[in-house]
Amino acid sequence: MAHRFLSSANRFSARFAFIFTVSLSCTYLCYNIIFCRGTIMTNQVYEGKRCPPGKNAGGKKLLGKLDHCALLEARSTQEESAAQRGANDIREQSKAASSSGSHWADMKLRNMSVAQKYGNKKLPNALIVGVKKGGTRAVLEFIRIHPDVRALGTEPHFFDRNYDRGLDWYRGLMPRTLDSQITLEKTPSYFVTREAPRRISSMSHETKLIVVVRNPVTRAISDYTQTLSKKPDIPTFEELAFKNRSLGLVDTSWNAIRIGMYILHLENWLQYFRLSQMHFVSGERLITDPAGEMGRVQDFLGLKRIITDKHFYFNRTKGFPCLKKPESSSQPRCLGKSKGRTHVQIDQEVIEQLQEFYRPFNIKFYETVGQDFKWD
């Protein structure tokens, strides 16, 4: 009897152990199926990131992982869309600029902000190469309000004084620009520097060149007036301009005179650049019709005509056009005190002698560039 009882108990224990083992195995299998399904779904949502879903999270350590994963996801999304946002900003700004001139200042600031964050420093696409006292600063200040132009404010003098520093140094001076923007710099002494055309051509054969020219007699007087304000003890204009005034011998070694012999300098440039790569701005028309002159500059640079007469007003005190007050500023933008300075009074006979001297140079210059500046 005892033997039967023990045998029955052993069978019951075996059955219980078998059932318990099977139940435990099924539980483990179900748990793995559920866990794997959750992992697969999580991977699909987060594109392969190994972060657990929020509903299964538990404890500070897991919460820390979740926070970290959320941060990575947000950062990744920002990085992937940054370039697209920058491009969209530019497109929207261009649309706004073409529809209204009243928001040009804010548009320019937004474009500069995008360029500073996402752009690159590039060698300039275009240069304002001359001439001194012709109106180069005005052209620079006017064109740089265009949202597709980024310009260096100072004169780097790379191609005349600092060429030995190398192109990497030069590039480092430039503002950051987007691919859709033009990088621009101005140094008016380039036009009269013998080596400048060759050096610029070595940088790029396709560089666009802007030359602002002015009546050479008026330009020389303006040049002298500027020098006199810094060095009041220099000789008179007449003494510097002539070797022998009674014989009408002009001193072409004086830089103020030589700069105005435009055709001589232009011939040097045409050895390295096509005439179609050069645009000549009239310093006189820049004063009387700034919008018209800047419209032609925009055309030359391949830009949409955004800078118009809505941007200018004539300052009677300075005798020069100024930019209208942008919405982001309480003051209009006029050029510095040195611009529009009253010229030294020069004897009319001296002016006529210099006009006669320059006439043959002017005529040949007109013929070469195909434009009559009406300086005679």
Contacts of 373 (CB under 8 A, 6+ apart): 213, 215, 282, 284, 362, 365, 366
Residue 134 is assigned to a ligand binding site: yes
Residue 176 is assigned to a ligand binding site: no
pLDDT at 281: 98
Neighbours of 253 (CB within 10 A): 8
Q: In terms of DSSP H, where are the helices of 100-189?
A: 104-118, 136-143, 167-173
pLDDT at 35: 46
Q: How far apart are CA 34 and CA 40, in angstroms?
A: 10
Give me 198's structure tokens: 């060759």
pLDDT at 39: 40
pLDDT tens for 358-367 read 999 999 999 9
| Residue 316 confidence class, pLDDT cut points 50, 70, 90 | confident
Contacts of 309 (CB under 8 A, 6+ apart): 290, 291
Is 263:363 a contact under the CB 8 Å cutoff?
A: no
| Residue 313 confidence class, pLDDT cut points 50, 70, 90 | confident
Is the pLDDT score of 131 beyond 90? yes
Q: How far apart are CA 238 and CA 235, in angstroms?
A: 8
Is the pLDDT score of 48 beyond 70? no
pLDDT at 334: 74
Residue 342 is assigned to a ligand binding site: yes
Quote the radius of gyration of the chain (alpha carbons, Å). 37
For residues 227-246, give the mean pLDDT.
Answer: 96
Is the pLDDT score of 85 beyond 50? no
| Residue 89 confidence class, pLDDT cut points 50, 70, 90 | very low
Q: Which of 59-63, 169-173, 325-329 has the lowest mean pLDDT?
A: 59-63
Nearest to 367 by CA among 260, 299, 275, 257: 275
At residue 314, φ and ψ (nearest 5 deg) are -95, 125
Cα separations (Å) of 327 from 102, 147, 186, 193, 321? 8, 16, 27, 41, 18
Residue 81 is assigned to a ligand binding site: no
Residue 214 is assigned to a ligand binding site: yes
pLDDT at 315: 83
pLDDT tens for 206-228 read 999 999 999 999 999 999 999 99
Is 132:216 a contact under the CB 8 Å cutoff?
A: no
DSSP state of 276: G
pLDDT tens for 347-356 read 999 999 999 9
pLDDT at 42: 39
Query: Is 374 one of the annotated active-site residues of the chain?
Result: no
Residue 339 is assigned to a ligand binding site: yes
Give domain limits for the chain: 114-369
Chain centroid to Cα 153, Å, comes to 10
Q: How far apart are CA 362 and CA 47, in angstroms?
A: 71
Q: How far apart are CA 56 and CA 173, in angstroms?
A: 54
Work out the angle between the directed axes of helices 104-118 and 60-99 (0-180°, nearest 10): 140
Among the options 133, 243, 304, 374, which is catalytic? Answer: 133
For residues 103-121, give the mean pLDDT.
Answer: 67
CATH superfamily of 114-369: P-loop containing nucleotide triphosphate hydrolases (3.40.50.300)
Is 240:251 a contact under the CB 8 Å cutoff?
A: yes
Q: How far apart are CA 86 and CA 114, in angstroms?
A: 6
Q: What whole-number percentage of the chain has pLDDT above 90? A: 60
* Beta strand 208-213 pairing with 182-186: unpaired
Q: Does this model's pTM top 0.75?
A: no
Residue type, 196: A
pLDDT tens for 257-305 read 999 999 999 999 999 999 999 999 999 999 999 999 999 999 999 999 9
